[in-house]
């Protein structure tokens, strides 16, 4: 246990022998150091949208991945058939179900090193029309789930002196959004959770970061377009000119950033909110 990122484990082949740097850190010779992670990763909402891209990216980097989903069995089965990634049906709003599912994942795949809190929902309404149910559903799924998912596994990460926790927030947690007082509050809360976790758990080799996407093409944004009475194509076309890079985001734009934050080499990046929005807060 200690305040520094743990040393990298070597598999022992001669071309991967460690080399020593004048600053005292040890680096492997292998230039692909960041490209392979043999870690166990859990991704909530991991079988659709952004989460599916994260699951696939982490698997491609060598992780054993468990993808959690809420109830869309058809999408989960199709995802497993396509990727070979095992899916687990688990409502992240239930602390008991999360604890049991995480226990099962550890029995199946081994101790959990990486947690990506990605599951999220919207229940949009102007505040004067928002119901208590809409408020609670969004807070429970986006924010309270962080407690449910993180508390059963952080102790194991501490004992093994390694952990990567990434929470998917949103630019709307920073800037607010019309009709999303519940979602914006939850996404802002996720950032506070993440920063505090980083401060408390850094001494155990655990990092915590948040990623805050802007407009990403998924079922979630398609549903927003439908609610506004627009075709998804028109919705994207209207959004793109307002984004400095002049396009909406794709799921891989987010997954690449998550992959970096979960890597061995990202041990000195913690407590950050990384905006993946094609510009500042777009």
Active-site annotation, residues: 183
In this structure, the strands spanning 114-117 and 86-89 are unpaired
65 contributes a contact to ligand NAP by CB under 6 A: no
Nearest approach in angstroms of CB 23 to ligand NAP is 37
Which of 37, 70, 139, 239 lies at the binding interface for ligand NAP (CB under 6 A)?
A: 70
Which of 148, 170, 184, 259 lies at the binding interface for ligand NAP (CB under 6 A)?
A: 170
CB-nearer residue toward ligand NAP: 61 or 187: 187
Nearest approach in angstroms of CB 37 to ligand NAP is 22
**Distance (Å, rounded) from C-alpha 106 to C-alpha 64?**
11
71 contributes a contact to ligand NAP by CB under 6 A: yes
> To the nearest 10°, the Cα dihedral for 42, 48, 50, 51?
0
Contacts (CB under 6 A) with ligand NAP, residues 120-139: 120-121
Which of 40, 41, 69, 138 lies at the binding interface for ligand NAP (CB under 6 A)?
A: 69
The mark string for 17-56 relative to ligand NAP (x by CB under 6 A, - otherwise) is ---------------------------xx-xxxxx-----
Nearest approach in angstroms of CB 22 to ligand NAP is 42
In DSSP notation, the chain reads --SSPPPPP----GGG-EEE-TTS-EEES-TTGGG----EEEEETTTSHHHHHHHHHHHHTT-EEEEEESS-HHHHHHHHHHH--EEEE--TT-HHHHHHHHHHHHHHH-S--EEEE-------B-GGG--HHHHHHHIIIIIIHHHHHHTTTHHHHHHHT-EEEEEE--THHHH--TTBHHHHHHHHHHHHHHHHHHHHHGGGTEEEEEEEE-SB-SHHHHHHHHHTT--HHHHHHHHGGGSTTSS-B-HHHHHHHHHHHTSGGGTT--S-EEEESSSTT-
Nearest to residue 206, comparing CAs of 219, 215, 197? Answer: 197
207 contributes a contact to ligand NAP by CB under 6 A: no
Which of 55, 102, 113, 118 lies at the binding interface for ligand NAP (CB under 6 A)?
A: 118
Which of 125, 220, 225, 282 lies at the binding interface for ligand NAP (CB under 6 A)?
A: 220
The piece of 2-10, 71-79, 194-202, 233-241 that touches ligand NAP (CB under 6 A) is 71-79
The piece of 99-107, 201-209, 213-221, 225-233 that touches ligand NAP (CB under 6 A) is 213-221
The piece of 11-19, 62-70, 152-160, 262-270 that touches ligand NAP (CB under 6 A) is 62-70
188 contributes a contact to ligand NAP by CB under 6 A: no
The mark string for 85-104 relative to ligand NAP (x by CB under 6 A, - otherwise) is -----xxxx-----------
**Distance (Å, rounded) from C-alpha 247 to C-alpha 243?**
6
Distance of CA 115 to the CA centre of its chain: 7
| Binding positions for ligand NAP, rule: CB under 6 A | 44-45, 47-51, 68-72, 75, 90-93, 118-121, 141, 168, 170, 213, 215-216, 218-221
């Amino acid at each position: 246990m200690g305040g520094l990122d743990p040393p990298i484990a070597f598999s022992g082949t001669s071309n991967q022998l460690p080399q020593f740097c004048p600053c005292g850190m040890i680096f492997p010779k292998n230039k692909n150091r960041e490209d392979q992670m043999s870690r166990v990763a859990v991704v909530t909402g991991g079988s659709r949208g952004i989460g599916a891209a994260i699951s696939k990216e982490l698997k491609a980097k060598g992780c054993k991945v468990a993808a959690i989903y809420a109830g869309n069995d058809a999408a989960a089965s199709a995802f497993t058939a396509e990727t070979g990634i095992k899916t687990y049906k688990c409502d992240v709003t239930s602390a008991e179900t999360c604890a049991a599912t995480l226990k099962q994942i550890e029995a199946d795949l081994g101790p959990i090193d990486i947690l990506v809190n990605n599951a999220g929902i919207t229940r949009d309404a102007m505040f004067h029309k928002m119901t208590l149910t809409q408020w609670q559903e969004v807070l429970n799924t986006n924010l309270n789930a962080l407690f449910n998912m993180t508390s059963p596994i952080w102790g194991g990460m501490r004992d093994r002196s390694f952990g990567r926790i990434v929470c998917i927030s949103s630019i709307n947690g920073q800037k607010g959004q019309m009709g999303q007082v519940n979602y914006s509050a939850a996404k802002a809360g996720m950032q506070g959770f993440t920063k505090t976790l980083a401060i408390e758990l850094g001494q155990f080799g655990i990092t915590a970061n948040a990623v805050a996407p802007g407009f990403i093409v998924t079922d979630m944004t398609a549903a927003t377009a439908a609610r506004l009475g627009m075709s998804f194509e028109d919705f994207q076309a209207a959004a793109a000119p307002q984004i400095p890079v002049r396009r909406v985001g794709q799921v891989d734009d987010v997954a690449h950033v998550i992959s970096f934050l979960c890597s061995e080499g990202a041990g000195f990046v913690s407590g950050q909110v990384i905006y993946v929005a094609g510009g500042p807060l777009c």
